[in-house]
Structure formats: structure tokens, C-alpha cells
Amino acid sequence: MHVPKDNLNHLKKQITVFCQSTVAYYLLRTVMARPNFHVSFPEEQLDSPVRYFVGQRGQTLQNGRWSIIRKLGWGPRSSTWLAVDSRDPDNIEAIKVFTVTATEDSSALNELSILQELLKGNLNAFPVIQDHFYEHSTKGRHLCLVLHVLGPSVESLRLSNTGVYLPVHIVKKVVADILDPLSELHGKKIIHGGECHILY
């Protein structure tokens, strides 16, 4: 990512808000030291029969409330977008947009229900759902979840490392931060049954 000098301080402030763990702080330091650092990832098949949401930078969601900044990633049932709130420019959240297929079957509503239930339990290691809404596109209707941004992915962290391997203390922190919430979910009789996208 290339950051103009006049925007660098504002960007540091915004990213610092997201960085709540030592691992995220490590990535922040690495990215800021290498301003041309860029993480790329494969794109979802937009012509897939599951009907992914087709988004682009500057596109608005929820009747103009959210403006897309960039894509964060995608999985077999959704894509996730970084977006800024038109009501409060300091409010930047992740919006998970389910495919039309996931919206039509029970999987998207099940995830919404689980996240709402976890919110009642004050569990800190899980995505915090802020809101949800439906967005209509040329592909159909998509359930959207507004989630607090957890931070960069473990893959971004790995790619940002200047060495061959991540330092052992970082790997231990990542593993602990994954196992603790999985243990809490198991205690509530919830299992993760799909592709795993780990974020900080």
C-alpha cells in the first residue's frame, strides 16, 4: 500500500485503533516501515452459482450509510469489506456480505444468531456484531453483518515478516489467541465447521 505523507499520521491513528494485540502491533510496525507493502489474495469467482456480492471502492451500502474502502477477503459463503460510516468518518467497520445462496438458506441467519448470542456473553475474542441489514444487488438479496474490525489476517502477518519464519513468540500468541475462543465455543456446544479465516 502506498500512503501519501500527508495522510500517514491519519492512517497511523486509524490503524492503531484496530491494533489491540502485540501481533497486530508487530504488523503495524512492519507495514509502516515498508510503505510499499501490499498483500494480494485470489479473488472469488463472481460468476459462481452462489452469487457473490460484486463490490467496488466507493460503492455505498445500507442506503448510503456505508462507503466501501476495500475488500478484506472472501470465503465460500461471503465476502468481507472494509467500510466507513457516513455518519461518523472515524467509524470504520468490516461488513460481511453473504452470497445470495447463503442468504436464502439458513447458514447466514445461523451465523447472525450465533454472533448475537455470543454478544450477550461478553466474550472478548469474537467478532462483535454492530448491526445487520439486507443489501440488494444485480445478483439478488444479501444479508450483511456489520462487525468490529479485528485487524489483519494471519496471512498478512506472515507475508509482512522480513525473515523466513515468524518469531516463535508471535506464533505462540497466534495459537493461544485461536485456541482460547475455540475452547469457549466448544463449551457452548458450537463448532466451526467450515473454512477458517483467522483475523487479528
SS (H, E, C) 36-99: CCCCCCCCCCCCCCCCCCCCCCCCEECCCCEEEEEEEEECCCEEEEEEEECCEEEEEEEEEEEC
For the entire predicted model, the pTM comes to 0.70
Domain count, the chain: 2
Residues 198 and 121 in one domain: no
Residues 13 and 58 in one domain: no
pLDDT in tens, 134-192: 999 999 999 999 998 877 777 778 888 787 788 888 889 888 888 888 888 788 777 76
The predicted structure's pLDDT at residue 63: 97
Last residue of a domain, one of 129, 150, 171: 150
Residues 130 and 49 in one domain: yes
Residues 24 and 12 in one domain: yes
Residues 34 and 44 in one domain: no
Residues 159 and 194 in one domain: yes
pLDDT in tens, 97-137: 999 999 999 889 998 998 888 777 666 667 789 999 999 99
Residue 83: give its domain's CATH number. 3.30.200.20
Residues 8 and 59 in one domain: no
Percent of the chain's residues with pLDDT above 70: 72
Residues 101 and 166 in one domain: no
Last residue of a domain, one of 150, 169, 192: 150
Q: Would you say residue 18 has pLDDT above 60?
A: no
The predicted structure's pLDDT at residue 20: 40
Domain that holds residue 164: 1-38+152-200
Percentage helix, strand, coil for the chain under 3-state DSSP, each rounded to 5? 35, 25, 40
